[in-house]
A and B are shown apart, each in its own frame.
Chain A
Amino acid sequence: MREMTRHWPGRIYLFLLLLSIIGFIAFLVVGGTGVGPDGLPTIVFGWMTMPLVIGVAFVIFWLITYVVYFFFFWPYR
């Protein structure tokens, strides 16, 4: 991690991950996984509940940023 803080791509990578964690928590705090305005649970593709959807989105975000940084910018790659 020390090597990441020594160059701009690394700092941007760490910042994006931090932002995603804050965003994830903020989404939970504002009730994003609760019922919708109609009082019913939000279901995606007929079976995915919001706690699953938000988690999958979070993992995909981490996956994309990791691939970009570790395969193109990581000093020890």
Chain B
Amino acid sequence: MAVTIIALAAFGAVVIAMAAYGYKISAKTAEDYMLGGRTIGVVVMFFFVLFAISSAWTFYGFPGLLYTEGPGYVMFIWGSVAGFAGLYMFLGPRLWALAKINRFLSPVEVLAERYESKGLRLILSISILAFIVPYIGIQPLGVGAGFQALTGLPAIWGAIYTTVILIVLVILGGMRIVAWVNIFLGVVYVSALLGSLFWVAAVLFPDGGLVQAVSQLQQTAPAMLSDPGPVGRYTSIALAGTFVVGLLAFAWPHVAIGCMTARDKSLFKWFPLLIFIFGGLFFYIIPFVWGSIVAPAAIPVSQLAAEAEAAGIPLQEAADRVVQTVIQRTLPQWFGVFVLLGVIAAAVSTAAVQLMTSSVIVSRDVVQGIFKPDASDQQITAWARWSVVVIVILSLVASMLNTGAMALYLTDVSVPGFAQWAPALVGGLLWKRGTRQGAIAATVAGVVYLVLSLLIVVDGNRPLIIGHPVIPSLLVNTIVYIVVSKLTPRPSEAIETQFFDEVDDYLRAESGS
């Protein structure tokens, strides 16, 4: 116990010291606090984004679902890798150039100015906050579960510890230090996840490692090694739907805002290289191997189900922390503490970026954009800082009310919600003909359809969901956007010049072509 407390204290001290240093060196301007002064280079950006999207979900939810339902859920990862790379290849340069030329501080502000609409600014802000805030709270609660599994103390202490670190980091550090801290957190995270995988494989499967584990599964649970998986969930349609949901990762607001922090245009040329090689071909394979091969070979699902039943908890809840359970039963206790630090790192790295994004939207788009347009730079920075506390409290309450599987909350609720601003975003950046009326009508229609489709249950089924919650709602959203835009007057020439011609000229000038 003493080792655990010392390790947690040292880890927290490092993060808080970095946040304090960030506060000391910051320029104390809104641009510096919210976008790191637009000075993030490619390496920091890579850690910033990769670990912003690799949360406690990657440690718990993702392997947990692979463990109970087979390998089909990995299609979400393959879609996400393409989606994140696509954001930086297709939309990123324009979003970055627009924000830099016009000093925009949030992606919602970009679209509000593009469509010349305060109403749209409010609608987008509310809809993004509504889907991002509950997801923030999942992170500390996820850590709480791991904390309980390791120490036996109530989960709430782990959640409180993570929440305090998170609040101090975001309030003091701002976007630049959140990005820098992600390098430290990412190193801890990868070391814990990969180190534990190698060590556990060496201890449990000494005669061939993963080959031995797979061979064992072929004998005992072959359904774990192919689709549709042991419970038959991943049919062809479900696999394709999961992949498409992953592709929509380009619309995650806390990832999109990263484009606006870039130092220069060359970042968009190099960034996808890191995402493909380090993200797609290395990092995401680690939790996949954990959840679909090592964990089920180490602890058969039937055994964990029996243990869960005896403990009075659902199987999925036990499965969500199966990686930590295997580590605890196999490796020395001190390494379990290191793994817990890895989980905390994963949780903080994601929640901090989501929290930053939420506070920027609250301060810049809701307070200044709608209610107090003459607010000073200092005032909006102060609002952004203090809104962090309110957002954290709301997110924890929302997460405690949600009792579903961690992995499915991301893919079935958050991602469909994030996707509802995608047509307005893509159309606003790439399609001159997209109009204010089209963007407002589409976003409202998509969000309303999504909420209704999740709420209306008839005989245990949700009749408005076709395949996956995101598919019909996004389809409705996109069709409404195109049709209404075509039926309403095209945007003014001034908007076309500002949002298309000037951006093209700027990007051409930046590349010397």
Residues of chain A having any CB pair with chain B under 8 Å = 1-4, 17, 21, 24-25, 28-31, 33-35, 40-43, 46-47, 49-52, 54-56, 58-60, 62-63, 66-67, 70-71, 74-77
Contacts and interface: CB of A to CB of B under 8 A. Distances in A.
Interface in B469-513: 500, 504, 507-508, 510-511, 513
A55 B504 contact: no
Give the interface size bracket for B toward A. Answer: 35 or more
A71 B94 CA distance: 18
A42 B218 CA distance: 10
Question: At the interface, is chain B mostly helix, strand, loop or mixed?
Answer: helix
A62 to B, nearest CB: 6
Given A24-B78, A55-B77, A59-B276, A1 B213 contact: no
A77 B270 CA distance: 10
B218 A41 contact: yes
A70 B272 contact: yes
Interface in B109-154: none
Contacts of B213: 47
Given A21-B82, A33-B239, A41-B222, A70 B75 contact: no
Contacts of B74: 51-52, 55
Given A3-B504, A71-B269, A75-B513, A55 B78 contact: yes
B504 A34 contact: no
Interface of B: 71-72, 74-75, 77-78, 81-82, 85, 89-91, 93-94, 208-211, 213-215, 218, 222, 225-228, 236-237, 239-240, 243-244, 247, 265, 268-269, 272-273, 276-277, 280-281, 285, 288, 292-293, 430, 500, 504, 507-508, 510-511, 513
**Residue in A2, A35, A42, A43 whose Cβ sees the most chain B Cβ within 10 Å:** A2
A42 B508 CA distance: 49
B511 A33 contact: no
18 contacts: A2-B430, A17-B82, A28-B240, A30-B236, A33-B226, A40-B218, A41-B222, A50-B226, A51-B75, A51-B292, A52-B288, A59-B82, A63-B280, A66-B272, A66-B273, A74-B269, A76-B268, A77-B511
A21 B247 contact: yes
A48 B239 CA distance: 18
Nearest to B503: A2
Given A52-B74, A75-B511, A59 B281 contact: yes
B277 A49 contact: no
Nearest to A30: B236
Contacts of B222: 35, 40-41
B243 A51 contact: no
B250 to A, nearest CB: 11
Contacts of A67: 273
Contact of B430 (A1, A35, A46): A1
B281 A60 contact: yes
A43 B72 contact: no
A42 to B, nearest CB: 7
Contacts of B208: 46
A2 to B, nearest CB: 6
B272 A58 contact: no
Contact of B292 (A2, A28, A49, A76): A49
Nearest to B247: A21
A55 B244 CA distance: 13
A77 B225 CA distance: 42
B90 A1 contact: yes
Contacts of B504: 2-3
Contacts of B209: 47
Contact of B240 (A25, A47, A62, A76): A25
A3 B237 CA distance: 34
Given A47-B293, A70-B89, A76 B243 contact: no
